[in-house]
Chain A
Amino acid sequence: MTALRRYKVLFLAPGLLTLFLIIIFPLLFTVRVAFSSWNVASPQMDWNAGANFVRMVHDGRFWSSVLHLVVLAGGTVLVEYVIGFALALAVWREVRGRRLLRVLFLVPMMTTPVVMAAVWQMMFHESLGPVNDLLGRIGIAPVPWLTSPGPAYVALMTVEIWQWTPFMMLLMLAGLLSLPREPFMAAAIDGAGPLRTFRRVTFPLLAPVSVTALIIRLIEASKMSDTVYVLTSGGPGSATETPGYYLYIRGLKEQQTGYAGSLSLTYLVLMIVALTIISALLVRAFRSQEELR
């Protein structure tokens, strides 16, 4: 019916067009500019036949930023999953002060990442920050948190874990709350202890939620750049640079738009490929868990 068809378009078109205008169109711009030598000195849409990509292949700083991201994203998400799952289990059962705890656990993931990173930066200050002060009271020498590579990683990951573990907890808790009761009753009747119940019942039942939670967090973590900017500015040197941050330097600070375009595309493609492979692996790994039951 024509009248109905007209309305069908009316509902979807505005959103879809907006999406095209503000995401796809800019992306096409990026694709085109990646093959040009556009920079701040000569902003021109010429054709330099992939010279940017050749340069990128030899750009060690970019590739090490990719490596940093793999370590940072992989490490934080893994820790977040373990702690988040444990916390979800802890508040799943009856616990005193449940509502207060829930607000407290919600707050980090809702507060502005850059603002909280600024607060953490004070806390990690080598001589005036409370972290080193408290460590000093139990006899640990001051750690140069933000000025030496190893500790800088720990600091970055701490902030990320602090902020996003609650998100993991929330997803896992939602999963726990939607579980059927019967398998737990069956396990209790069989006399299974808490560890066995977890390994045989809880964990396998939560496999699908686990996959979803891990993937969502990996996607978000691979975009990491704000926190890096505020906390370490990629430093010391370029030790904690992520592709997002490196892109910001090349594309926005130095305005090498053409080169940044090629980096953007590569970053995006790498992300999509890596996340697709990881999701497939996760789904397979957790499916075998489900079958184990």
Chain B
Amino acid sequence: MSRWPRRAQYLLLIVWAVFTAMPFLWAITTSFKDVNAVQGHVTYVPWLEFEPTLEAWRQIFGGAGGVNLVGPFVNSLIITVCASAIAIVLGALAAYGLSRFRYRIGPAKNKDIVFFFVSQRIMPPVVLVIPFFFLLQMPGLLDTRLGLIIVTVALLLPIAVWVMVDFFDNIPREIDEMAMLEGCTPMQAFLRAIVPNSAPGLTVAAMFCAVFGWNDFFFAFRLTFTQVQTLPQAVVALNSSIPPWWTLSAAALFGIIPLLVLAVLVERYLSKGNLAGAVR
């Protein structure tokens, strides 16, 4: 066999790896710069081209002249965790039902109901955000964590249902039938026989929900203002064409650290050979 495919393969991978890494490298170096290292000419290499400083990192944790990102971080964490938990509970229940029972709502059968859930992903956030604004305003939920949790569930529920239906379909239904014969109500059968065996499916659903929940910007941007700021919102607020780029960079990195940890976990999961099963 000729050698060119192998060379092309490595060339492509290296180019793409560099391209992928570029914004991260830029953000990392910039987060250690000060005004002198940003203005004037472009600098890349710390110590050689500029003197690194921890000033930006001090600023994002409430240092003088900075902003405190701990509050937004906590907000993002609470909203993501709560919304994911609600979406997964509701999604897993619905998915289990759809996987085990035959439903009929008007002309819609199980497949159509699943499609109905999943199809909500097509809804652009901005289309929902306008009515949400008024619907949350009335009960006084604008600019509250609870309000944002509720709307984030809308974002995550279709994902949770989609992942879990597929997963439950692959668990033999004899297991829960047997649990029923052994004295479990269907709900107990679900909780005692199926949920303990659903760790992989729940993990995937949780990872999806965590990423989409954490990354939401539009809902937070329009539905919360001063009281409750999420991390992406806080980072974008720092964005301006005029530097202090160092704070922005440090803030950006801080905002994606949980996601980097997740990325490593996802890779671990994928390397266990779960990828091929993802598409059938």
Contact = CB atoms under 8 A, between A and B. Distances in A.
Interface in B2-18: 2, 5, 9-10, 12-13, 16-17
Contacts, number: 264
Interface string B180-207: 0000011100100000000000000000
B245 A122 contact: yes
Contact of A244 (B122, B126, B185): B126
B12 A110 contact: no
Nearest to A176: B276
A104 B129 contact: no
A272 B186 contact: no
B17 A110 contact: no
B271 A102 contact: yes
Given A114-B217, A119-B252, A257-B134, 7 more contacts: A86-B12, A115-B235, A115-B236, A128-B245, A166-B20, A252-B133, A257-B130
A127 B219 CA distance: 33
A116 B130 contact: no
Contact of A223 (B27, B90, B124): B124
B278 interface: yes
Interface string B236-280: 101101010100110010011001101110110011000111111
Contacts of B222: 248, 252
A174 B278 contact: yes
Interface residues of B, number: 98
B112 to A, nearest CB: 12
B20 A115 contact: no
B54 interface: no
Interface in A9-29: 10-12, 14-16, 18-19, 22-23, 25-27, 29
Interface centre among B41, B128, B249, B279 (most CB of A within 10 A): B279
Interface residues of A, number: 90
Interface string B82-126: 000000001101101110110100000000010011001111111
Interface of B: 1-2, 5, 9-10, 12-13, 16-17, 19-24, 26-27, 30, 38-39, 41-42, 44, 90-91, 93-94, 96-98, 100-101, 103, 113, 116-117, 120-135, 150-151, 153-154, 157-158, 161, 185-187, 190, 211, 214-215, 217-218, 222, 231-232, 235-236, 238-239, 241, 243, 245, 248-249, 252, 255-256, 259-260, 262-264, 266-267, 270-271, 275-280
B79 to A, nearest CB: 13
A99 interface: yes
A225 B124 contact: yes
